[in-house]
Amino acid sequence: MSLFLLLILVAVVLGIIGFATHGLFWLLIIGAAVLVVDLVYAGTRLRRGGGRKHRLAR
């Protein structure tokens, strides 16, 4: 889950920098690509159903 949130944050930062800076439109494109890859990653993780069960230590 932390990898998902980190990639979302990276995509947003790259998108903002690419949008705000005149010559760095390619950063916006990279940010959008990272966002799409991250959403596909999250979708495959959710589709599998999380095969690992976490047990609390007693």
Indicate the DSSP class of residue 49. Answer: T
Nearest-5° Cα angle at 30, 24 to 32 = 115
Give the model's pLDDT for residue 58.
64
pTM above 0.85, yes or no: no
pLDDT along the chain (58 residues), means of 10: 82 85 82 86 77 64
- Domain ranges, ordered by start, for the chain: 2-47
Q: Tokens for 51, please give them.
A: 């095969």
